Every structure is written in structure tokens, then in C-alpha cells.
């Protein structure tokens, strides 16, 4: 690892009052490190790395990643949110290598390890960030968890049943569907074409391997996943028994939109994520103390 560190030019600006510091690392990447608000003895043993949601910068939609990172820091977790190459303040990639996302994530983990000494990580993100988190979790043994918001999913017979039955008795929906089919005429990309899901058979194998490694997964689906997921049990229907393992938490938030636009939805997300992190990764004594402290 020392050789890898020597190859990565790292710079750090002064911390702000919250203990947050800006870093330039790797091939022109920029990120913000959130250090725990707790005393050193209460720092939790894993760090969270947040990955860009689509073309949105490292702050996330409605500064969602900023607020989530600060909530996790108050719970004792280290968080690093960075711009992948070509996004936000990070430089565009010099070449479109197939493993670019993996190399950038490894550089981010190396930076966090050099700054904090932590060597276990939870990757997280919304939409494409969730796709990246799933791919990365299968590639690096340092990754012990993933937070996937509207992440991977596959249509199943149950999906189509739930999707089509309400539309059978709605003439307006029938007309709308016919109009969409006529406009598309079988050509052009669909919403799923913009996602980076592995082939279903490969996703099933990877999920099984992650569970066997005891990697913990929090999968939250919102109404924004309506075109490929419409109920919480669908992941197990698509990917098999591993999706029902104790390591995997799957929730479907039907009344929440894709970007967590409403403040109440963002607050629900922050609270659920902090609780999940505490339940799965916190030092037991610290978790009890945190829950007792408002």
C-alpha cells in the first residue's frame, strides 16, 4: 500500500469548524472528508464513501450527501464524498478505461486510510452511485457494506402483475401507454438503458458472493424506480434467496420520490441510514451511548 500512496499526489486544505477538509487526490479528483464529531475513542471502525448520483456533484441532490455525511459524522462515522472524474470539480478523465471507476474508488479508499487509519469501507450512492457501489463491493475485500438508493433491480412476473393490473381498468392509462408506444415505435433508449446493471445471472452470483463474505447491504427503492421495481420482495424474486439473507435489508418507500425532494423524506433517509450503520458497524458500547444521547 505504501507504493500506492507514493503514486497518488494528495493535498489537503485547512479544515473548517466542523472538521471537514477538502482533498485533491488521484488523477485530478476532488473530495471532502468528514471526520467524526466524537472523541477519538468513540470513532466507529468503518468509513463511508459516497458516490456521485448521475451528473450531480458530490453534494448530491438538494445537498443530500452533505447532510447525510454530517449526520453520520455526528454518529461517529468518517465519511468521504468525492467527485468522480468528469463530474463536479474533478478533472475529466484522460482516457476512458473500463476500470476507471474502480481505480478512482481505490484511490479514495487509500486517501481515507492515509488520513484516518481506517481500512474498512461502506460504499453508497443514489441511482448510478448505487450501481457503482454494487460493482465496487464485489471487487475489493476492504468494502464491507453498500448503501444503494434506487439501485439494481430486475423485472419479474410479479412486477408485471403489479404494474399491469391497475392499468387494465383505467382507459386513460391505456391511451397513455398506446401513445408512448406509438411515439417510440420500438426505437430509442429506455430509462433502464441509462443504468449500469450487470446481467441478471451475474448479479445473482455477485449477491450470493457478497452475502458469503458477510457484506451488509441497505437497498432502498422509491417511486423513482417505478419502471423496474414496484415492491420490496422483488429483489429476492429476481436474485434468489441471498436477497433474503440477514445481511440484506430491502425497503420500498412508495411515497418517496427518486431524489428525496421533500425534507421529511430526506430526514427519514438520514435517520434510517444512521440507524443501519449503527446496527451493522458501530462499536457496541458506542451504539448504546449514541442511542441514549439526543
Domains detected in the chain = 2-287 (3.40.50.1820)
Where does residue 155 rank: exposed (0-12), middle (13-18), buried (19+ CB within 10 A)?
Answer: middle
What are the pLDDT digits (tens) for 66-86?
A: 999 999 999 999 999 999 999
| d(C-alpha 80, C-alpha 99), whole Å | 21
Predicted model pTM = 0.85
Q: What is the DSSP letter of 282?
A: S
Query: Is the pLDDT higher at 134 or at 6?
Result: 134
Lowest-confidence pick of 144-148, 179-183, 202-206 = 179-183
Cα 248 to its chain centre, rounded Å, is: 14
Average pLDDT, the chain: 86
| d(C-alpha 182, C-alpha 176), whole Å | 10
Q: What are phi and psi of 158, to 5 degrees?
A: -65, -35
**pLDDT at position 216 over 50:** yes
For 79, other C-beta atoms within 10 Å of its C-beta total 26
For residue 18, what pLDDT band results from cuts at 50, 70 and 90? confident
What average pLDDT does range 194-213 have in this prediction?
Answer: 95
Kindly give, in sequence order, each residue whose CB lies less than 8 Å from that of residue 74, ignoring residues fewer than 6 positions away: 37
**pLDDT at position 169 over 90:** no
Q: What are phi and psi of 103, to 5 degrees?
A: -65, -40
> What is the residue whose three cell numbers read 382507459?
171
For 240, other C-beta atoms within 10 Å of its C-beta total 15
274 and 71 Cβ atoms separated by less than 8 Å = yes
For 245, other C-beta atoms within 10 Å of its C-beta total 17
Amino acid at each position: 500500500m505504501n507504493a500506492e500512496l507514493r503514486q497518488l499526489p494528495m493535498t489537503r486544505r485547512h479544515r473548517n469548524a466542523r472538521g471537514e477538509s477538502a482533498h485533491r487526490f488521484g488523477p485530478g479528483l476532488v473530495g471532502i472528508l468528514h471526520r467524526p464529531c466524537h472523541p477519538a475513542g468513540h470513532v466507529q471502525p468503518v468509513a463511508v464513501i459516497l458516490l456521485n448520483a448521475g451528473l450531480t456533484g458530490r453534494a448530491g441532490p438538494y445537498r443530500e450527501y452533505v447532510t447525510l455525511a454530517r449526520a453520520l459524522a455526528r454518529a461517529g462515522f468518517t465519511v468521504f464524498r468525492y467527485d468522480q472524474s468528469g463530474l463536479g470539480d474533478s478533472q475529466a478523465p484522460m482516457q476512458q478505461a473500463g476500470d476507471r471507476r474502480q481505480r478512482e474508488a481505490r484511490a479514495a479508499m487509500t486517501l481515507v486510510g492515509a488520513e484516518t487509519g481506517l481500512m474498512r469501507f461502506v460504499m453508497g450512492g443514489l441511482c448510478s452511485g448505487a450501481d457503482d457501489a454494487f460493482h465496487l463491493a464485489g471487487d475489493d475485500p476492504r468494502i464491507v457494506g453498500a448503501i444503494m438508493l434506487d439501485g439494481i433491480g430486475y423485472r419479474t412476473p410479479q412486477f408485471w402483475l403489479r404494474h399491469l393490473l391497475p392499468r387494465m381498468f383505467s382507459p386513460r392509462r391505456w391511451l397513455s401507454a398506446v401513445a408512448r408506444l406509438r411515439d417510440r415505435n420500438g426505437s430509442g433508449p429506455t430509462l433502464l438503458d441509462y443504468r449500469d446493471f450487470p446481467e441478471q445471472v451475474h448479479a445473482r452470483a455477485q449477491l450470493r458472493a457478497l452475502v458469503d463474505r458477510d457484506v451488509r447491504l441497505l437497498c432502498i427503492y422509491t417511486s423513482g424506480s417505478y419502471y423496474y421495481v414496484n415492491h420490496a420482495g422483488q429483489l429476492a424474486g429476481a436474485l434468489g434467496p441471498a436477497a433474503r439473507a440477514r445481511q440484506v435489508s430491502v425497503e420500498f418507500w412508495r411515497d418517496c420520490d427518486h431524489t428525496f425532494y421533500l425534507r421529511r423524506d430526506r430526514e427519514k433517509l438520514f435517520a434510517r441510514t444512521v440507524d443501519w450503520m449503527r446496527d451493522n458497524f458501530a462499536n457496541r458500547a458506542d451504539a448504546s451511548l449514541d442511542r441514549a444521547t439526543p
